[in-house]
A and B are shown apart, each in its own frame.
Chain A
Amino acid sequence: MILLKLFLSFFKIGTFTFGGGYAMIAMIQAEAERQGWLTKEELVDFVAMSESTPGPLAVNMATFVGSRTGGVLGGICATLGVVLPSFIIILIVAKCYEKFKSSKAVNGAMSGLKPAVIGMIATAFLSVTRTVFFPNGLQTAAFSSVSFWLFLGIFALSTVLVFKKVHPIKLILLAAAIGIGAGYGLGL
């Protein structure tokens, strides 16, 4: 049953993902929360590992969530689910390519979907912000914790580096090192 649920959820996510893996984060989060598959922290960790391993972000995320929830078979079902919609749609498009290219409906739909994807990434940003900075919900107490300021520091540094086009893997390794150093150093 869990396998079928994984397949269907990721089929849905694959069907409605436009413009790369980041737009998926909000959807995976909503789905994982609804089904109780993983914690918010785990999801963010998966994003990090999907970025630092080769392959498409969306496939990596699907395999991660699937294998965490349903073992190897779960991984296969989730991955198959996220890939299948693309595969079917592209086969159809490849067959009637000229029609697709000049279709007014397709172009119109795309003009609405492209900005929507940006809105969805903003949602992902907001929810990951909550997970990182306010793990216990929005409380003013969060501001007085050491870890809040530590995270803010790492986030600020990472933002500068990522806009300077430092490779995500290097960034993630650096952040991990700071996390370990600060964790032991400050005794968090």
Chain B
Amino acid sequence: MIYLISGDSILNKKLDLFLTFMKIGAFTFGGGYAMIPLIQREVCTNKNWIEEKDILEIVAIAESTPGPIAINAATFVGYRTAGFIGACLATLGVVLPSFLIISLISLVLHYFQELRAVKYAFMGIRAAVLALILKALWSMFKAAKKGAFAYFIMGTTFLLTAFAKIDAVFVLVGCAVFGIIWSAIRRKEQTHDTP
């Protein structure tokens, strides 16, 4: 009997994970950073799945691993809460609303995109998107650690991807390797300086 009840509650928890992350996916606009407060509220305050101090670490990891922050956070919370199946369900939950909504829009757009009004609307919108990208650029620049090394990487990446048309993958791998070497040199210098 106890076994049954606990089995049932694990099942409920998994379903709950799926539904909670579906809600998070359906109600956040503008991507991962906007999602973080919502994830925090749902997962820590409402559901008590993760402790407040742990969620900050999860967010930090979500930011420092490749991929969309929202996906990373969902996978991590799901895994912590209910193992592999939990990770699958939370990730599926956070992706599903996007997927359904976009598929629908993409289908509808197909029929409307030849309309003149729609064409005009998108002409205006494209100029606004430019402002959104500029804002993203500025916020990331403001939050970044600055210094000769950082400026060098920023500039080189920009030149290589914008003008030399080098595949971004190679550039990023190069930057990662360069970062590893650079920080190793810095560490050596510091240990030399201290004694």
Contacts and interface: CB of A to CB of B under 8 A. Distances in A.
A91 B91 CA distance: 12
Interface in B80-122: 80, 84, 87, 91, 94-95, 97-99, 101-103, 105-107, 109, 116-117, 119-122
A85 B66 contact: yes
Interface string B21-41: 000011111111101000000
Interface in A4-45: 12, 14-22, 25-27, 30, 41, 44-45
B126 A45 contact: yes
A179 B135 CA distance: 21
Given A91-B79, A171-B128, A176 B121 contact: yes
Describe B's contact surface by its main secondary structure. helix
Interface string A53-68: 1111111100110011
A91 B46 CA distance: 24
Interface string A135-164: 000000000000100111011001101110
B98 A53 contact: yes
Given A56-B68, A119-B153, A125 B137 contact: yes
Contacts of B180: 104-105, 108-109, 112
B124 A180 contact: yes
Given A108-B182, A183-B120, A188-B120, A16 B168 contact: yes
Contacts of B64: 18, 106, 110
B187 A104 contact: yes
A82 B102 CA distance: 15
B162 interface: yes
Counting contact residues on chain B (CB < 8 A from A), the size range is 35 or more
A174 B129 CA distance: 12
Interface string B67-87: 111111001100110001001
Q: How extensive is the interface on chain A, given as a class?
A: 35 or more
Given A86-B72, A109-B176, A127-B162, A48 B106 contact: no
Interface string B138-155: 101100110001110111
B55 to A, nearest CB: 14
B56 interface: no
**From DSSP, what is the main secondary structure of chain A's interface residues?**
helix
Given A115-B145, A171-B128, A177-B121, 20 more contacts: A16-B172, A21-B32, A22-B136, A30-B168, A56-B35, A56-B70, A57-B32, A64-B105, A67-B103, A76-B99, A90-B65, A90-B87, A97-B61, A112-B153, A113-B179, A119-B157, A155-B127, A176-B122, A183-B119, A184-B116
Interface of B: 25-33, 35, 57, 61-72, 75-76, 79-80, 84, 87, 91, 94-95, 97-99, 101-103, 105-107, 109, 116-117, 119-138, 140-141, 144-145, 149-151, 153-158, 161-162, 165, 167-169, 171-172, 175-184, 187
28 contacts: A18-B64, A20-B31, A30-B161, A45-B126, A48-B122, A49-B109, A53-B29, A54-B27, A55-B25, A56-B71, A56-B94, A63-B103, A86-B71, A89-B65, A90-B72, A100-B61, A115-B145, A118-B137, A118-B144, A118-B157, A119-B157, A122-B137, A122-B154, A132-B130, A155-B131, A168-B30, A172-B129, A180-B121
